[in-house]
Amino acid sequence: MTSSSEYDIMIAAIKEFGPAAQIDMAIEECAELIKELSKYKRFKNNIPTVKEELADVSIMLKQMFFIFGDFSTIEQKKLSRLEHRLKIGKWEDFDK
C-alpha cells in the first residue's frame, strides 16, 4: 500500500497531530474534493485542482487505514458485488 517513507510520514502525522485531528482533516479534504468535483461537472476547467484534491484525499485515506485498520476484506467484497452488478446490469438494492 505505501512505501517505507510514506509509512513513516503517515505514522508521524498521526502521532504528531493525533487520530482525531487527522480524521477531521480527512473530512475536510473530502469536502474540498466534493466541491471541486461539483465545479468540474459545471465548468470542466479545473482538472489540476481536482487532481490536487484527489492527492490530498489519497494521503488522508492512507492515514485512515492506519487509524481504523485493514479493510481489504470488506473492499474485496464490495468490488465483487460491483463486478456482479456490472455483469447482470442491475443496480437496485445497491446498499445491500
DSSP string for residues in 33-52: HHHHHHHHHHH---HHHHHH
Domain ranges within the chain, ordered by starting residue: 4-69
Check residue 91 and give its pLDDT. Answer: 66
Q: Rounded CA gap, 83 and 71, in Å?
A: 18
Q: 14: Cβ–Cβ under 8 A, 6 or more apart, which residues?
A: 22, 63, 66, 67
Residue type, 91: W
Q: Rounded CA gap, 24 and 20, in Å?
A: 6
pLDDT tens-digit profile of 26-49?
A: 999 999 999 999 999 999 999 999
pTM for the model stands at: 0.84
Q: How confident is the model at residue 3 (pLDDT cuts 50, 70, 90)?
A: confident
- Return the residue matching grid coordinates 447482470: 88
pLDDT tens-digit profile of 45-87?
A: 999 999 999 999 999 999 999 999 999 999 999 999 999 999 9
